[in-house]
A and B are shown apart, each in its own frame.
Chain A
Amino acid sequence: ETGVTQTPRHLVMGMTNKKSLKCEQHLGHNAMYWYKQSAKKPLELMFVYNFKEQTENNSVPSRFSPECPNSSHLFLHLHTLQPEDSALYLCASSANTGNAYGYTFGSGTRLTVV
């Protein structure tokens, strides 16, 4: 257990469904991130939150909607997804968005869109 917990571990959803991914950390970190990991591609940064404020969205489609109610919790709301959105979604946290800090990653949510 790394200190960053993601639920659910696996999710299968239809293209018309609405679901949410949850990430929780109790490491006292102030920054949280969503990354998308697709096969044979580099990890793609989706969203960055620092002290609950979004600082980067990296041109992610609006069918992905993040929410950060406090520094310990991060959600990714999903609706009307496409099959190409199937991937491993990783949450990470760090002490600050300053680049010298290493990231602590969760185990990910394996999403399959059918």
Chain B
Amino acid sequence: AQSVTQLDSQVPVFEEAPVELRCNYSSSVSVYLFWYVQYPNQGLQLLLKYLSGSTLVKGINGFEAEFNKSQTSFHLRKPSVHISDTAEYFCAVSDAAGGGADGLTFGKGTHLIIQP
């Protein structure tokens, strides 16, 4: 079984400043890792995913994340945030070898608040 920890429930950042949202996972097997974003009154939208290969993954809206196997982390970063980035961000993990029947395991989410 996997688990995901998003230590920060809320991250306030000034507009145009860089941001990092932290995600740590626990698993005894190889994993796939995902970041999703949820805007108010909407469902979740896939930002990016790590399956294999390069540990630096680029996603939509200028976000990127780096997979660090030794630290079991998959932190999300953006060099310069915009007001429109205000949303809830979810990290998720799944078993890379599994058939997928157990779906994705999500963290509790981090609320990114952009201050003007």
A in complex with B = yes
Interface residues of A (CB under 8 A from B): 2, 4, 6, 31, 33, 35, 40-43, 45, 48, 50, 55-56, 90, 92, 94, 96-108
Count residues on chain B whose CB falls below 8 Å from chain A CBs.
29
Residue of B45, B90, B104 with highest tally of chain A CB at under 10 A: B104
**Residues in A neighbouring B46, C-beta threshold 8 A:** 102-104
Expressed in whole angstroms, the Cα–Cα distance for A100 and B50 within the complex equals 9
How far does the Cβ of B95 sit from chain A's closest Cβ, in whole Å? Answer: 6
How far does the Cβ of B13 sit from chain A's closest Cβ, in whole Å? Answer: 21
Expressed in whole angstroms, the Cα–Cα distance for A25 and B76 within the complex equals 29
> Which of B4, B43, B94, B105 contacts A105, CB < 8 Å?
B43
Expressed in whole angstroms, the Cα–Cα distance for A4 and B102 within the complex equals 20
The chain A residue with its CB closest to the CB of B90 is A43
**Residues in A neighbouring B102, C-beta threshold 8 A:** 45, 48, 56
> Which of A41, A96, A100, A106 contacts B51, CB < 8 Å?
A100
Determine if B41 is an interface residue (Cβ-Cβ < 8 Å).
yes
